[in-house]
Amino acid sequence: MPCPARSAVMTDRRTFLTLSAASLAAGVHVAGHPARASRLANDVIEVGCVGTGGRATHLMSRLAAIPGVRLAAIPGVRLAAVCDVWDDARGRGMKASDAKAVAYTDVRKMLDAGGLDAALVATPDHQHVPVSAACCEAGLDVYCEKPLTHSVEEGDRIIKAVRDNDRIMQVGTQHRSMPHLAEARELLRNGEAGEIYKVRMTWNRNNPTRGRAPAVDASTVDWDLFLGDAPEQPFDSQRMRNWRWYWDFGGGIFTDLMVHWADTVRWMLEPGEVTRAVSVGDHFTTAGLWETPDTVQTLLSFPSAASAGEAAGKPGPQMHFEGTFANHRDRACAELMGSKATLYIDRGRYELIPQHRSGVTPRERLEAPEKLRGLDFYDEVDGAKYHLENWIECVRSRAEPACPVEEGVASADLAHAANAALPGRGAA
């Protein structure tokens, strides 16, 4: 089915931006604060962490370790503030922060207090743009977890917030900062795989019954702040803890997992904007529990090369993704299939596999040779560490980070296109 391509939604985005300076979630919008006058080479970067209930603590530990080996000559980072709507998550965030860090429930109060240089945003997806935009308007640079947007319509809003306020935003698709994937990208750029016609991406896990989240005491959560501008609804522990699998707060497997490989492939191939998407999704293990399907596939197609000024009539690459929580075959990887070779990539290695009689020399790089191939993630290949270091370097230099705001928006749009093509979803 036709997808909500960027060209089809630009009018809606402009209307959205014109009709509202759009109220940020839970009234999170604050008046702009001047950024700190300068970040001298000997300054410590003061960071506020927003949404510390899960992924954030992993990122915070890496931020707190800067300067690391590569940044030994550069001053570090201080985790100076923590903000979360849930008492338990806020407490965990404080344990991971500086001893003198200040805790907040409402991000507006954190921003009004001032004194910060940057923000780490790891809230549920529906709060990514509202909170990140507020931080930019308050003069902070931002690292925001993926997916950057919760809907296509939010894209122009966050781009405007970043660019109008001259902020540095890094979107947390960390593959762009992983050395072996950067090297693999150069192989493609040098033509060693030939012309890429087809891409296969997977993210499969075997969690047949993820079960219900432990009950949360409603009195420990500011539910209204959690909801933000999501539809009003009664407090629900399951939705709060497993928000990724409910449409009001997340976008399921496509936005949570596919977006990593979609961003990687976009970075490597620059295929343009998706023009068509066909998707299927089913509940095999989570019926009655999740709203988003636990097993999905999508096929995305891209414009002909003629749109890039190349030979007329030549179609762009086909991009296929499959994901499930019922079987871990192939785990997390991508294969870029070309006229001369196939480039296999995962988070720990790449392999260039020549076509018969292509004359291409096989190549391989393993970042952790002692580990099994095909794992979801190698601790020894810490993409988040590289990506956060890149962000901090750019906060100091004011250079563009590895995944700037426009790239984050474009990659999230692929996930939204896949979701919109699910039967019964319609245009997202």
Tens-digit pLDDT profile for residues 369-404: 776 665 555 556 889 999 999 999 999 999 999 999
Select the more confidently predicted residue: 27 or 124.
124
Select the more confidently predicted residue: 69 or 94.
94
pLDDT, residue 32, reads 40
**Residue 428 scores a pLDDT above 50:** no
pLDDT, residue 71, reads 58
- Which has the closest alpha carbon to 279: 84, 62, 424, 116? 424
Cα dist. 21→17, 26, 137, 182, 401 in Å?
6, 14, 12, 38, 27
Q: Is the separation of the CB atoms in 285 and 326 below 8 Å?
A: yes
pLDDT, residue 34, reads 46
pLDDT in tens, 286-307: 988 899 999 999 999 998 654 4
pLDDT bin (cut points 50, 70, 90) of residue 55 is confident
d(CA 367, CA 167): 33
Of the given ranges (146-155, 285-294, 308-317, 397-406), which has the lowest mean pLDDT? 308-317
d(CA 406, CA 267): 12
pLDDT bin (cut points 50, 70, 90) of residue 221 is very high
pLDDT, residue 303, reads 83
pLDDT, residue 253, reads 97
pLDDT in tens, 336-363: 999 999 999 999 899 999 999 999 999 9
pLDDT in tens, 191-200: 999 999 999 9
pLDDT, residue 380, reads 63
b/e for 349-374, b at 16 or more Cβ within 10 A?
A: bbbbbbeeeeebeebebebeeeeeeb
Q: What angle do CA 123, 127, 131 make, to 5 degrees?
A: 90
Of the given ranges (168-177, 192-201, 365-374), which has the lowest mean pLDDT? 365-374
- Which has the closest alpha carbon to 238: 291, 169, 280? 291
pLDDT bin (cut points 50, 70, 90) of residue 315 is confident
pLDDT, residue 379, reads 58
* Domains of the chain, start order: 6-173 (3.40.50.720), 177-232+252-387+411-420 (3.30.360.10)
pLDDT over 70 for what percent of the chain?
82
Select the more confidently predicted residue: 141 or 368.
141
pLDDT, residue 376, reads 55
Burial-class residue 1 by CB neighbours within 10 Å (0-12, 13-18, 19+). Answer: middle
**Residue 209 scores a pLDDT above 80:** no
d(CA 207, CA 209): 6
pLDDT in tens, 93-136: 999 999 999 999 999 999 999 999 999 999 999 999 999 999 99
Amino acid identity at 121:
V
**Residue 36 scores a pLDDT above 60:** no
b/e for 234-260, b at 16 or more Cβ within 10 A?
A: eeeebbbbbbbbbbbbbbbbbbbbbbb
Other residues' Cβ atoms within 10 Å of the Cβ of residue 297: 18
Select the more confidently predicted residue: 13 or 251.
251
pLDDT over 90 for what percent of the chain?
72
